[in-house]
Amino acid sequence: MARLRFLLSVLVLCFLTTAVAQENVTVPDTEPEKTDTSWVYLLNADIMRYDEWINPDAQRLIGNVVFRHDSMYLYCDSALFYQEKNSFDAYHNVRMEQGDTLFMYGDSLFYDGNTRLLRVRDNVRLENKTMILLTDSLNYDRNTGLGWFFDGGTLLDEESTLISEYGQFDTNTNMAVFMDGVSMESPDYTLTTDTLHYSTDDHIAYLYSPATIVNEDNVINTSHGRFNTDNKSAVLLDRSVIEQNEGDNRITGDSIIYESQSGHMEGFGDVIINNYKDKVDARGEYVYYNSENDSAVITGKALLIEYSAGDSMFVHADTFRLVTFYNEARDSVVERQMRGFHKVRAYRIDMQMVADSMVFTTRDSSLTLYSDPILWNEENQILGEKIIFYMNDSTIDWAHVIGQALFVQMNDDIHFNQIAGREIKAYFKDSEIDYADVNGNVQAVFYPLDSDSAMIGMNTTEGSSLRTYFKMRAVDKIVMIGHSNGVMYPMEKLDEKKMYLPNFNWFERIRPVDPEDVFYWRGKRAEEQLKKSSSNKEVPLPTLQGGKKKKR
């Protein structure tokens, strides 16, 4: 029995002697002669312990631990080194350096030298020259330079803060891909989406899912595009929308180029501009807008829709141009003009118009039609060299027809009331024509009606001026002013040569018949053109000297 105790004591003593002999072993600072880059090298540790009973595959390293694997260096307070497996676990104050461009920090790390894969956990920070990535769980593949997180992460660069649940970062291309609950913020804007690619080199965010960008001036909604966080410019695709002035203005387009610093915006495809405050919509295949001077150009099936009066007015021209005039200090708007160039056609249920060009100005709320304009109102037609409408709350207050003015009212396919002169001034009441003054070389053909609204004859007259009164949108009576002469013909003795004034024409063929018809131009025939007169010259665009309404 005594002999057995002795043998056991000897075995225990031998075991304790082996363990203690390895406690104070330190690794020299010099690297081993072995230079195979596939192996992980231990460069330093204050203490190395080994216990085959506890963990026969690992060496326990304590204090100032340093590893190297090819160009990567790893520093930590303690580690377990699996030399045969070419891997290690690192703990506390973990720091990885790869050259002078890539750094990684964390509380713990596992590295497999065979697969070159790192798994870093808790208080993780990945840094290079362009960004800092913060997360609690990061895997990094040194073969591809790709790191990814899956438990929430934050990317910081000099421009923005980018947050998401899942993401990855390519250290070779400096491109980040963030997914699920993505939020990107800076002092100037906030961007939210579900999928975003971001280059930390050029600070461009690429959007591939529904996204909202909010800044001081705009709210942008898109599902595909790119956003430059440096200059806040964007290229927006797939029917993107930009809202301005707290939602009063909205721009929608198949694609939109937006430059925040210059205030420029270009829309392509089916572009729609909604002005909810003024109740005006505009659309076209191309739109340019400059918010700095509040100017715009609309072309390609250009269309304005004005709906403030209830019934919508549809106006088409080859090109529309918005121009804004400011005071000298440029702190307030003096006037805005909407100009329409070439082949203007307009339709509203109660009114239709055609002209070569038009200008609407806010200074006196007037709409001017140039070059052979024609206006229809039910069975009434007005034409001249130029027509100016002065508006009041989007309804016509009075109209001025200048040069070769002609008013025609259809009684039937043969009999027309006609009044011609150098100018016509027509005044409206409750959106209907009340009376009109005609001046200069006045000629009239008029069919008076009896109590049953039957024509009793044809009255022809000439004079210097006259006033026409209307009732229920029909001619009620004509009062000649000054010297005049005329003839009354019974219906059974009408002189066909006197039934129509020299410049008479009923342009039903040209008249727009519905909103879609405004896109189809039908001009006057050569023989229907107005004869040139001294006043029929190139008409300049309106200046800031607005016209005044004549007192009745």
In the chain the first and final C-alpha atoms are separated, in Å, by 140
For 117, phi and psi rounded to 5 degrees? -110, 130
At residue 255, the pLDDT reads 96
Q: Which runs of E-coded beta strand occur in 351-415?
A: 351-361, 366-370, 374-377, 380-383, 386-392, 395-410
486-543 residue pLDDT tens? 889 999 888 888 899 988 999 999 999 999 999 999 988 877 877 766 544 444 444 4
Q: Distance between CA 377 and CA 375 in Å, rounded?
A: 7
Six token digits for residue 449: 């009606």
Q: Distance between CA 167 and CA 66 in Å, rounded?
A: 30
Amino acid at 75: Y
Can you name the residues that pair with 280 across neighbouring β-strands?
A: 275, 306
Identify the DSSP state of 301.
Answer: S
Q: What is the mean pLDDT of residues 125-140?
A: 95
Q: What is the DSSP string of 69-105?
A: ETTEEEEEEEEEEETTTTEEEEEEEEEEEETTTEEEE
Amino acid at 77: D
Q: How many CA atoms lie within 13 A of 169 on its CB side?
A: 29
The whole-angstrom distance between residue 236's C-alpha and the CA centroid of its chain comes to 8
Of residues 155, 146, 180, the one with CA closest to residue 166: 180
Tokens 């011609």 label which residue? 420
399-444 residue pLDDT tens? 999 999 999 999 999 999 999 999 999 998 887 889 999 999 999 9
Helix %, strand %, coil % of the chain (to 5)? 5, 60, 35
At residue 338, the pLDDT reads 93
pLDDT of 130 strictly over 70: yes
- Domains of the chain and CATH, by start: 22-114 (2.60.450.10)
Tokens 């309106």 label which residue? 542
At residue 475, the pLDDT reads 80
Q: What angle do CA 82, 88, 89 make, to 5 degrees?
A: 125
62-98 residue pLDDT tens? 999 999 999 999 999 999 999 999 999 999 999 999 9
Of residues 382, 361, 399, the one with CA closest to residue 505: 382
At residue 5, the pLDDT reads 46
235-259 residue pLDDT tens? 999 999 999 888 888 999 999 999 9
Q: Which one is predicted more confidently, 5 or 182? A: 182
What is the pTM assigned to this prediction? Answer: 0.79
Confidence class for position 545, pLDDT limits 50, 70, 90: very low
326-357 residue pLDDT tens? 998 888 989 989 999 999 999 999 889 999 99
Of residues 164, 172, 92, the one with CA closest to residue 133: 164
Q: What angle do CA 70, 72, 78 make, to 5 degrees?
A: 115
Q: Distance between CA 199 and CA 176 in Å, rounded?
A: 6
Q: What is the mean pLDDT of the chain?
A: 87
306 within 8 A of 394, measured Cβ to Cβ: yes
Q: Distance between CA 43 and CA 32 in Å, rounded?
A: 8
Confidence class for position 54, pLDDT limits 50, 70, 90: low
Q: Distance between CA 328 and CA 337 in Å, rounded?
A: 18
66 within 8 A of 78, measured Cβ to Cβ: no
Max avg pLDDT among 14-18, 31-35, 335-339, 471-475? 335-339
Six token digits for residue 404: 């070769």
Q: Distance between CA 95 and CA 424 in Å, rounded?
A: 89
For 22, phi and psi rounded to 5 degrees? -100, -5
Confidence class for position 36, pLDDT limits 50, 70, 90: low
Q: Which of 23-27, 162-166, 180-184, 392-396 is predicted least confidently?
A: 23-27
Q: Distance between CA 531 and CA 420 in Å, rounded?
A: 14
Amino acid at 95: R
Instruction: For residue 410, give the 3-state DSSP assignment.
Output: strand
